[in-house]
Amino acid sequence: MFQRKLDIQNFVPSLPPQPQTGTVLPPTGRDDWGKEMPERREFTRQPIVDATIVNEETIISADLTIIGNVLSKGRVKLEGNIEGDMHCRSLIVGQQGSVTGGIVAEEVSVYGKVAGTVRGDRVNLYSTAHVEGDIYHHGIGIEMGTHYDGRLKWTENPTQGRDAETAVNQVQYGSLPPAT
């Protein structure tokens, strides 16, 4: 267990075992290793959410009521109720759906009820629709039998400054303007 000083002083370390042929040695920090190794590649992080995902549809079902503003960068199909402003790229208000507040979207199709201002590049009102409020549009289609009470106003760009991204930024900083 214990050794004498003389034994420790006379100790000669043995040489480390020599590698066998075919063994790959790790880099030693010498410059000549870099010549045999492939070029070093830099890896960049890919975004977690791809911008093409925006084309998917969000469905708000008939058993859901949302009290507050709703923001989406994509398409929304509404069968439930929203009591607040709706900002999205495309909105379909189904026969059971209703919005009490403003709507801002590039394309709006209404089969249900809307009580508030609608701003859309393309707005379609169908025979089952019941709309009370002004509509600012670039193009509109109204089917025979639609119940509509409000003013129609053609504008060059009805959603200008009121798109979903602007609304998202304004909500983050607490200054979402009304959709009227």
Element (H, E) at 167: helix 164-172
Q: Is residue 1 part of a domain?
A: no
Element (H, E) at 83: strand 81-83
Q: Is residue 158 part of a domain?
A: yes
Q: How far apart are CA 34 and CA 156, in angstroms?
A: 62
Q: Is residue 28 part of a domain?
A: no
Terminal-to-terminal C-alpha distance of the chain? 91
Q: What domain range is 157 assigned to? A: 55-172
Q: Is residue 109 part of a domain?
A: yes
Average pLDDT, the chain: 77
pLDDT above 50 (res 121):
yes
- Secondary structure (DSSP) of 135-155: EEEEEEEE-TT-EEES-EEE-
- The shares of helix, strand and coil residues in the chain, as percent rounded to the nearest 5, are 15, 35, 55
DSSP state for residue 169 in the 8-state scheme: H
Q: Is residue 65 part of a domain?
A: yes
- Digit-coded pLDDT (tens) for 129-162: 999 999 999 999 999 999 999 999 999 888 876 5
Structural domains in the chain (count):
1
Write down the pLDDT at residue 52: 45
Write down the pLDDT at residue 99: 97
* 70-91: burial string, b at 16+ Cβ within 10 Å, e else: bbbbebbbbbbbbebbbbbbbb
Three-state DSSP state, 35: helix
Write down the pLDDT at residue 166: 53
CB 122 within 8 A of CB 138: yes
Q: Is residue 177 part of a domain?
A: no
Q: Is the pTM of this model over 0.75?
A: no
Write down the pLDDT at residue 30: 55
